[in-house]
Chains A and B, each alone.
Chain A
Amino acid sequence: MLLTCTDVRKTFGSAVVLDGLDLAVDEHEVVALIGASGSGKSTLLRCVNLLTEVDDGTITLDGEDITNPKINPDFVRRKIGLVFQSYNLFPHMTVLDNITLSPVKVHGRPSSSAKEQAMEWLSRVGLADKADSYPDRLSGGQQQRAAIIRALVNSPRLLLLDEVTSALDPELVGEVLTMIRDLKGDGVTMILATHEMGFARQVADRVAFLDKGKVLEQGPPAQVLGDPVEARTRQFLARIIEAGRL
């Protein structure tokens, strides 16, 4: 297993957000995390990336316990990419500098080779002409694709995507989803929190439904989205269908 979460607990004050959550992800696997707003999808991704500390339980990456306080979180984060709903590109840097910051400053790569690699990626997703632009000159979809490249250039073992299309205008969602579909083709291991059920059905190997701080139900997309076992999963999907998102 590439990633395992065992009995993970996370609270904010008196609110228990993750309550004994178990989840395992294999190499090259794509897992879609679904669940109501506020069910803890972002919190789980932030725990995996060590942006927040778990209150109990264990998370391992490549067999190594990353919740061990003796471990240096900076080293763990270098192996995990995280893409945010709101892109979070650095507004004072060009797209190219955004992408090469970590390879150069963290991984000590020569700036020329980092730039070359960044340009390859940008060309691949049709953004080569935006390399020297500042993020505020890009559309949301372009910013999000640049943010995904920024998370990818360090060849992370695991890519975490947190509702990466939720802030986008509907006509820009497609270009980002296409890019993620291509990444699956490359064999990138991903956990994606999403509200795009149709997309989850297409690209995910497995769908996990988060409810009351646990993974209530998980399995192949066709089963979880089409014929869920749990009543609460069915209710959640019914609400999604009502909102016209399936």
Chain B
Amino acid sequence: MTEDSLKVHQPSDIQLGRIAYRRGKAIRSVLVAAVSTAVVGVLLVVAITGAPGWQRVKSSFFDASIARKYLPDILEGLWLNIRLFAVCAACALLLGLIASVLRTLRGPVFFPVRALATIYTYSFRGLPLIITIYLFAFGIPGLRLQGTPNVTVLGGAAITITYGSYIAEVLRAGIESVHPSQMAAARSLGLSYRQSMRHVVLPQAVRRASPALLNDVVSMQKDVGLISLAGPIDAIRAAQIGSAESANFTPYVVAGVLFVLFALPLIGVTDFVTLRAARRQNAGT
């Protein structure tokens, strides 16, 4: 019925006028945007290539032959970053989830675990990642314990533990944003605390926290490059070696571009999820 009337509906002159006006306005704003982008782009190119030091910068940062020479090494290093990122991200999410749930437990019985989880999130959120990596990669082997893992694993553990604390905080805020009546409704149906958390509270908490969570994951993606401080040859370390050999900064630029390419898909996902979350928020309950 309504669909039929929509199909045959002939817009009034007033509405046709509105449509034409909006179309004209849209075309005008696209034109303005295109022209201003072109102007800014040209100005930037002229300013940079016309700068007195441009020839030197070009040869020491953008040397194509050096880039080609070190690309394979840097790519191989990046493979380590990618694997490290996958493992660290999974472990940090798990760790953050556990710590955030432990912090919500009530009652005196749980005081010790609650306190531990709180101390963990407070201290590692404050501690600079570089210091944590140094402590793990150089401090722990110094203890000369049997079976100490290699520096890649230790550095990875430092990244995991640091990011686990960020994620724990984001998730805890998500859990607290779920209204207590949801927990009450789940418990009233006979679900245990664990079941209520798992099926009712956590899914909603993760959904609400997902933009912030993904931001943390994106920032972790570049911070896995800090593993180079501990010694293993990742993309940044490979670039450093190449740069020292060739006395040129181009390998760093190559590594930088590769990191951006590696991050792009996830940044895209993050934007999408954030937009969707914002739209949901605006749509109301």
Residues of A within 8 A of B189 (CB): 77, 101-102, 106, 150-151, 154
A77-96 residues at the B interface, CB under 8 angstroms: 77-78, 80-82, 84, 86, 88-92
Across the two chains, which residue of chain B brings its CB closest to A82?
Answer: B188
A86 / chain B contacts, CB cutoff of 8 Å: 181
> Quick check: is A171 within 8 A (CB to CB) of the other chain?
no
Asked if residues B195 and A106 are in contact (CB atoms below 8 Å), the reply is: yes
B68 at the interface (CB under 8 A from A): no
Contacts A77-B190, A91-B204 hold; do A101 and B185 have CB atoms under 8 A apart? no
Please, how many residues of chain B have a CB less than 8 angstroms from a CB on the other chain?
18
Considering the complex, give the chain A residue whose CB is closest to the CB of B280: A136
Decide yes or no whether A70 CB sits under 8 A from chain B.
Answer: no
A105 at the interface (CB under 8 A from B): yes
Using C-beta atoms within 8 Å of the partner chain, give the interface range for chain A.
20 to 34
A106 and B204 within 8 A (CB): no
Q: Is B200 an interface residue (CB 8 A)?
A: yes
Decide if B192 touches A90 in the complex (CB within 8 Å): no
Tell whether A242 is near chain B: CB-to-CB under 8 Å. no
Determine the residue in chain B with the shortest Cβ distance to A97.
Answer: B199
Q: Which chain B residues lie closer than 8 Å to A154 at the CB level? A: 189-190
* Contacts A90-B200, A92-B203, A92-B204 given; does A106 touch B181 at CB 8 Å: no
Residues of A within 8 A of B173 (CB): none
The reply to whether the CB of A74 lies closer than 8 angstroms to some CB of chain B is yes
Bound-complex Cα distance A177 to B190 (A): 25
Q: Contacts of A90 on B, CB cut-off 8 Å?
A: 182, 185-186, 200, 204
Chain A residues with CB below 8 A from B199, complex form? 101, 105
Min Cβ gap A139→B in Å is: 13
Instruction: Give B205-219 interface residues, CB cut-off 8 Å to A.
Output: 207
> 10 more A-B contacts (CB under 8 A) besides A46-B184, A77-B187, A105-B195?
A49-B188, A51-B184, A77-B188, A77-B190, A80-B188, A81-B188, A86-B181, A88-B181, A92-B207, A106-B190
Q: What are some 26 contacts across the A-B interface (CB < 8 A)? A: A51-B184, A51-B187, A51-B188, A74-B187, A74-B191, A74-B192, A77-B190, A82-B188, A84-B181, A84-B184, A88-B181, A88-B182, A88-B184, A89-B185, A90-B185, A91-B204, A91-B285, A101-B191, A102-B191, A105-B191, A105-B195, A106-B189, A107-B190, A150-B189, A151-B189, A154-B189
